[in-house]
Amino acid sequence: MALLTVDGPLDLAATLESGQAFRWRRVEPSPDGSPWFEGVAFGNLIHARQTRDGVEFTTSPDPESDVAPLLRDYLRLDEDLTAIYQALEFDEHVRQGIALYPGLRILRQDPWECLASFICSANNNVRRIARNVDDMSAAFGSPVTGGADERRSFPTPTQLADAGEASLRALGLGFRAKYIAATAERIAGANTDLFALRLAPYQEALDALTELPGVGDKIANCAMLFSLDKPEAFPVDVWIDRALRDWHFTEQQKPIQRNRMRPWAQARFGRYAGYANQYLFHSRRLGRR
């Protein structure tokens, strides 16, 4: 058992269950009632829970000391969330979302897993996306631990390219199978380094991602926000569409087309538009307001 200390606000449950990542499950609560989460990341099975002192966690097969810096980076625990809140507090609805979920953080995920997961998000909901991602992992990923609780890592581009469209359709991915297979083939064949896009300007990364099969503006912005260090990214899905129309747009603005919402929001929220997006998305999807 190891501990990550946390400076600043953190809500681990809201962070892991806010539709950013799809490999985390609630498991049995600890004696004090705090939930444990089981997830697969960095080739490890991770169990984590939030305590008064920070984030307590175990890992397998690698030792906790090796995984600790990766998990800290994944949870973005070194990010100054208080400063981000101060930059966004001018907006009443984002401010209300922060009040509901203080400590919800944007994750820094593996770019390939994040991109492929959000290709699965087309005309889909969070529960089915999680099932799609777990099914692909179980069928084509590499094992991360032995025993009855064995889970598998998310498949590499090569593993999914080798699996092919027909095998992905057999898992229930539907039309998304075509795009997962084609994008996996493109990335594997070209030895594309998605991590390099973390250093690229926003527009350059957007252009590179939207050249991939099945990757439009929304999916690209999800990948940039949740894995490629682009806090200005602003994915627009049905929940954000409703939130902006109901909470931000005047009657004259409400007929605005969805493809014009992202530029509008980036101009309004600036550098941390992605954080505004996540608080609006999470509070709207859960129907708390």
Active-site annotation holds for 218: yes
Sheet of 2-5, strand order? 2-5, 54-60, 44-51, 35-41, 25-29
Angle at 101 between CA 85 and CA 270, to 5 degrees: 30
Q: How many CB atoms lie within 10 A of CB 20?
A: 24
Across the strands, what pairs with 29?
35
Cis peptide before 155 (omega within 30 of 0): no
- Dig out the tokens for 133 from the structure: 């991602």
Catalytic residue among 178, 218, 230, 254: 218
**Residue 249 to residue 251: CA distance in whole angstroms:** 7
The per-residue DSSP string of 197-214 comes to: GGSS-HHHHHHHHTTSTT
**Residue 116 to residue 81: CA distance in whole angstroms:** 28
Residue 223's SS3 state is helix
**Residues marked as catalytic:** 218
